[in-house]
């Protein structure tokens, strides 16, 4: 029986939520005295792009897309490492009401196919490092892809079946470019999908989370609200642009005309040097970065005294690590944040200046949270553990083309089920204590056990398999497989890990190892009892 006796509302917003498209918001911001100040600087090469250039390039690209018959609701994939060009197709798409579906460029072919098949994009904007993969898919496997456009401004590209962004623009506009005037398409921002983001949610394979223009607008308003932190002049763009956390925080930084120092691919020394050289004051990170900053001897070689505030989200962070980092950097502000793709981005954060003790914070404005008893569905009062559920303006529109999965992720009265276990104290500080959903998080990245199980079951010597995450200080969790082998077969751990490694990207490898068992515990309907498997891991560890 659902009830709403105990619900926690975020504080009153400073301003009402306007129904405005993200395209219009960013276009107006870029147009307002967009002088030549730098928008993005590449940390390694020093190359940069100005706000003026972003305005003209996005206007030209948007006009080119329209000229080629693309526009409202066209699905467009962007797949690239972090780069100065990444946001050009993103922003152009938002101007015209097209939908952006980013894909991790490190994915294997099989992972890309799964992801692409969710949204079936017509155009793929990608970096030249991955263009060959997409060209192959377009030619041989996925007929819905019409165009592949490489975003790097390189002239040495002579690949058939693809063109450069510059080439596409000049061919489409016949020299009539560098115009700043573009009429942004208007629509109902509450109902229009801006992004389709990959997430497996509480169960099963990765799905496409539909994030609306209004969903992202809320994040923009949170950034304007000083209760959530300082808005520095410079922003370090190192979290992957293809994941919700990096995608949206950097997009909002562009709206705010902050200067983004872009790190293409995370490298420890480059990261530290960039903070030092660019005097970065505020960092938004994931737990492995906090562990690195708190423990690595490399940190001693750099002057990180510019840092004043660190916010960490996307996976649990231990209180001890939080404290060690505060001491090492001599700052008092290491704050946690809690978010999930299905609720766009962070929905709970420790406000600035609020003392916290391992809490992930308080509910954001425009959002409401309740802690729900998993068995009875009743809302719970302070200090009682249940599943966190959300309502409000950041909750996703649903999973693209998957009504059944959408329905399963909400209670009968419309609360988003997070799959996370937690409680709040008398001061309404929230604490996450566990996860009832299947999801494994390796360095903040999602690993869906169902995906690994489906692949492993294809191995001729594997009869049955169950995958769970085991705790690891450095990476959060490591995927581990319980395997039942076919009778009379000879199978080694190496054979299994090697088999899987060829088919999945790095974060999904079986770093937790393989345990051979006689059977996988399941309930009468055949569902894997993952809690039983987790207990088996604890038993095994205690024997070591
Ligand atoms: P997705 N503690 C424990 N578990 C957590 C957690 C936390 N603090 N945060 C997330 N999880 C786990 O891949 C839960 O099981 C994200 O993680 C995500 C997406 C967008 C933004 O999504 C949870 O169900 C962010 C996280 C985010 N985090 O911080 C900030 N954004 C942030 C924003 C602005 O679907 C699952 O991970 C400023 C500063 C910030 F830190 C969700 O996994």
pLDDT digits (tens, 9 = 90+) for 288-326: 999 999 999 999 999 999 999 999 999 999 999 999 999
pTM exceeds 0.90, yes or no? yes
Alpha-helical regions (H) of 106-148:
109-119, 128-140
pLDDT along the chain (544 residues), means of 10: 94 93 96 83 96 94 96 97 98 98 96 97 96 94 96 66 89 78 89 97 95 97 88 93 97 96 96 98 96 96 97 94 95 95 97 87 97 96 98 98 97 97 97 95 96 96 96 94 95 96 96 96 92 90 76
**Given the CA of residue 445, which atom of ligand 1 is nearest to it?**
13
CA–CA separation, 22 and 186 (whole Å): 10
Q: Which CA distances in Å does 103 have to 210, 411, 438?
A: 14, 29, 22
Question: Which residue of 314, 333, 387 sits with most ligand 1 atoms within 8 Å of its CB, as the best mutation to test the pocket?
Answer: 314
CA–CA separation, 455 and 114 (whole Å): 12
Instruction: Establish whether residue 245 lines the binding site of ligand 1, counting it when its CB lies within 6 angstroms of any ligand atom.
Output: yes
pLDDT of residue 33: 72
pLDDT of residue 149: 95
Q: Cα–chain-centroid distance for residue 326?
A: 26
**Catalytic residue chosen out of the listed positions 341, 349, 368, 406:** 341
**Catalytic residue chosen out of the listed positions 259, 335, 372, 441:** 441
Question: Which residue of 313, 349, 387, 444 sits with most ligand 1 atoms within 8 Å of its CB, as the best mutation to test the pocket?
Answer: 313
Instruction: Establish whether residue 462 lines the binding site of ligand 1, counting it when its CB lies within 6 angstroms of any ligand atom.
Output: no
pLDDT of residue 159: 61
Q: What is the DSSP string of 379-445?
A: B--TT--EEEEEEETTS--EETT-HHHHHHTB-TTSPEEEEEEEEE-TT--EEEEEE-SS-EEETTE
From 417, 373, 372, 412, select the one nearest 391 (Cα to Cα). 417
286 CA from centroid of ligand 1 (Å):
8
Alpha-helical regions (H) of 48-95:
51-67, 87-95
312 CA from centroid of ligand 1 (Å):
8
Please state, as a whole number, how many other Cβ atoms lie within 10 Å of the Cβ of residue 324.
17
Instruction: Establish whether residue 313 lines the binding site of ligand 1, counting it when its CB lies within 6 angstroms of any ligand atom.
Output: yes
Instruction: Establish whether residue 134 lines the binding site of ligand 1, counting it when its CB lies within 6 angstroms of any ligand atom.
Output: no
ipTM at complex level? 0.99
Percent of the chain with pLDDT over 90: 88
CA–CA separation, 56 and 282 (whole Å): 30
Q: Cα–chain-centroid distance for residue 184?
A: 27
Q: What is the DSSP string of 245-301?
A: HHHHHHHHHHHTTPEEEE-SS--HHHHHHHHHHTT--EEEE-HHHHHHHHH-GGGGG
Q: Dihedral, CA atoms, 162, 167, 171, 174, nearest 10 degrees? A: 180
Q: What do you get for the CA distance between the two ends of the chain, in Å?
A: 44
509 catalytic? Reply is: no
Instruction: Establish whether residue 98 lines the binding site of ligand 1, counting it when its CB lies within 6 angstroms of any ligand atom.
Output: no
User: Left if phi > 0, otherwise alpha if psi is -120 to 50, otherwise beta: which for 444?
Assistant: left
pLDDT of residue 158: 57
């Amino acid at each position: 029986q659902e009830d709403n006796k105990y619900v926690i509302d975020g504080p009153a917003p400073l301003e009402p939520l306007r129904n405005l498209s993200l395209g219009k918001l960013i276009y107006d911001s870029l147009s307002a005295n967009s002088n030549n100040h730098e928008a993005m600087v590449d940390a390694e090469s020093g190359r940069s792009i100005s706000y003026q250039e972003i305005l003209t390039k996005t206007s030209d690209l948007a006009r080119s897309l329209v000229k080629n018959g693309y526009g409202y609701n066209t699905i467009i994939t962007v797949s690239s490492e972090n780069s100065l060009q990444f946001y050009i197709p993103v922003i152009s798409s938002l101007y015209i009401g097209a939908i952006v579906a980013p894909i991790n460029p490190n994915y294997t072919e099989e992972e890309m196919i799964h992801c692409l098949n969710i949204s079936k994009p017509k155009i793929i904007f990608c970096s030249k490092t991955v263009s060959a993969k997409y060209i192959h898919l377009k030619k041989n496997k996925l007929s819905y892809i019409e165009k592949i456009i490489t975003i790097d401004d390189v002239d040495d590209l002579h690949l058939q079946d693809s063109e450069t962004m510059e080439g596409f623009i000049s061919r489409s506009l016949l020299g009539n470019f560098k115009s700043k005037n573009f009429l942004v398409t208007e629509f109902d921002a509450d109902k229009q999908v801006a992004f389709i983001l990959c997430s497996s949610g509480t169960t099963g394979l990765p799905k496409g989370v539909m994030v609306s223009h209004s969903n992202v607008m809320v994040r923009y308003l949170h950034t304007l609200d000083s209760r959530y932190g300082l808005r520095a002049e410079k922003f370090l763009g190192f979290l992957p642009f293809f994941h919700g956390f990096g995608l949206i925080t950097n997009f909002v930084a562009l709206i705010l005309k902050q200067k983004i120092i872009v790190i293409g691919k995370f490298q420890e020394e480059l990261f530290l040097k960039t903070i030092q050289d660019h005097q970065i004051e505020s960092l938004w990170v994931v737990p492995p970065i906090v562990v690195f900053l708190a423990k690595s001897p490399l940190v001693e070689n750099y002057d990180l005294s510019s840092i004043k505030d660190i916010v960490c989200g996307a996976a649990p962070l231990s209180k001890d690590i939080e404290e060690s980092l505060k001491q090492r950097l001599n700052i008092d502000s290491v704050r946690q944040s809690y978010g999930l793709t299905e609720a766009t981005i962070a929905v709970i954060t420790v406000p600035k200046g609020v003392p916290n003790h391992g809490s992930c914070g308080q509910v954001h404005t425009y959002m409401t949270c309740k802690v729900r008893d998993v068995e009875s569905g009743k809302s719970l009062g302070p200090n009682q553990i249940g599943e966190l559920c959300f309502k409000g303006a950041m909750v996703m529109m649903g999973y693209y083309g998957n009504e059944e999965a959408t329905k399963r992720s909400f209670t009968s009265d419309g609360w988003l089920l997070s799959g996370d276990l937690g409680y709040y104290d008398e001061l309404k500080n929230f604490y996450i204590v566990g996860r009832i959903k299947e999801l494994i998080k390796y360095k903040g990245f999602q690993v869906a056990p169902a995906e690994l199980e489906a692949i492993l079951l294809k191995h001729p010597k594997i009869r049955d398999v169950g995958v769970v995450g085991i705790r690891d200080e450095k990476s959060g969790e490591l995927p581990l497989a319980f395997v039942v082998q076919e009778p009379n077969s000879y199978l080694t751990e190496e054979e299994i890990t090697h088999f899987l490694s060829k088919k999945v990207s790095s974060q999904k490898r079986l770093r937790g190892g393989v345990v051979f068992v006689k059977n996988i515990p399941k309930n009468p309907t055949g569902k894997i009892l993952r809690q039983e498997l987790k207990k088996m891991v604890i038993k095994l560890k205690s024997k070591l």
